[in-house]
A and B are shown apart, each in its own frame.
Chain A
């Protein structure tokens, strides 16, 4: 299903970047900290359409980045499902960063210092101590981001439009069906489907969270 593919890819794109950004925001104090924080949170407060428009301007065939991608690599993202994944990724990014950042802030820096004195380099400390300890937070971030991506509408429709089979994700399909006379029954089916998807995601994350917690706390 297209929506799942888009949401999955959006999570895959945001995850490593999200962890990195969350770590930088939680641990580093630098000039421009507030600015970075603001930029990361923009998609949360701006109308999604604005993000979509911005993406279209940048990544569209005529946009500075889009034309470069097209001319050099032959890649087009506007009006494709990849574009939809990028749009949802950007919309989901702040949610993921927030969840992960909170869990990083909860990690006792004393444990990391202890690991350093035992001979672990900062990188090793990160993957052997910090990462395992924040895995519940990462999980929560992933679920939030996944759910947000599934429901993304405004930025998607603006950036990649509503092309059946290419960029028509679940919410766009429901929207189209509602707009079509006699489409209510179809819309209802999709509504039920999205409820099932959302519930499944929540239950799955709950299950994983409990397992991780057990593993960490014994």
Chain B
């Protein structure tokens, strides 16, 4: 069936109406009877022993209902993997970054809660601290975690063999080092959490999340209560971008305060807390050594990356791997050695971010441009000679079933008039290309699959239940679109129950770009199963073969004789009167190599599909001020199948803004002794409407054989490749290959000056 009613159509999102009316409730908007205000006391020291905590004065303050410290906890440590469980939600022995959680307070109002924080006396013994990975590895000072003597948290080693031999065969070899500091999500919505224990001692909790089931399990562990007693509730979420997938210590602190007071508690982060107390991207120092033949084909590559891991590990092994994986997917590199080191430092916690490894990816593409220039090859041609092809295996052994990388490169180059522009632009004008590939899913073990339930109501409408969460990207609409398509209903006939751990089955969440592929496919299967049940009933009514029926526009009809039809509503009612079930379930479990493990065995099928994207950016640079003006932006991605082009274009445009315009021109964190100097929106510069260029989005459809209707990851390949294209364009404009990202005006002016000096 390719003649879809809804799939592939520009469908405005059904969740938009509540949002434009101001009716959509986010966590900070919640008001529960008797609710208290929670606040968190954070460490003022980057590294210190906690000698003692005295909460008596805070507790004596009128209006303070509870104070919690590490002594109130079960001492459970958090980390996504058994071997990364190094973070207590409230510290008991020492603090490891400025902002580490030390205590929590619940009071009748915000003023009282804030005053109470000042009355908690914490005695610290300050320890020497380290703020960069290279020093952290060599320091004689007390390690940040006793189990890691040289502060090396994670070491990922990938070696396909024959690397040294193939370097010997290379015609030309380059080795270059690239750096980039931390960046932050700056979600629209600052983090917030509300919690209460109900009459049955169940924890009810609301917070922005990248997967409710990713939140309920650690809370169940921390409180040592069964999973069914942790009800992560659905709430509108103001953005995630990778930063809200994991448990946040505030979730636990809020719940602990609710437990202790017997009242609902809400904690709303300030913007500064959202930057410091949730997560950030990793700073990275990456060295790429690449050997090519005369035609520019990569024969061997060796990459070493040092990541500033901050104070705790959590998703450390994934974070250490993804920058490499994206590039091994995008480009053929059969002979490669990768050493990724994630190093503990006394800086805030880090996690996954939309453009994970901007310095890594931009470095790799910049080096390709350098090699291309040396060999006299056009950068577009250079990429076509090294691009991933369908049917191939990545260097770590994932087969790539659908791949239209070349098509994205060619279409983007044509739309951007690359041939007429590259090398032919006036001084300080430049054009650059970036290509990238993003995985649609990771092996996620027990939480890797998704299950959905569909039930018909007696009025012929349907309720769909799914664990998929919507962070703003349109996942809810995607589920409704799929369910309506499969059931033959209109979107308004579907009631969606989602992102709630009490009613929905396990689901991987929006983590790892897998919502459509896994969660959407689960809904598709559940709806198809439910439709089949209706067809069995309708077949009797219509005296037809149940295998030759079609459901569309609230009707079931004989496919070859559409006049023979019965309404879905009547079919449901007949089924119920005949004691026949009109409910169904369905699930989807990605066929990945479950033996693949990030550190111990980084080989095997990673996920079922990979997206491929190309972005081309044209810029003009003011040589006196270093200001960059973007003249043209073309974003082209192989998304498998565009389920809803309207939503997809929005993903492309947002990706260019965050990955390229912000990620490569203005966004970075500045530090002083572990203290973030630009945690607020005033100092951290995200792109504004006046900064953004007009963007041409081009959708390429390779129709993935395993994806729902052929769909796979959509948008992230643009965020990643946009960063690379911006880097390439600026380098091209100023005639200097930049190696320190983002490309802020000071760096651009310095590079231009240095070049002029050298020319004299």
Is chain B found bound to chain A in the same assembly?
no
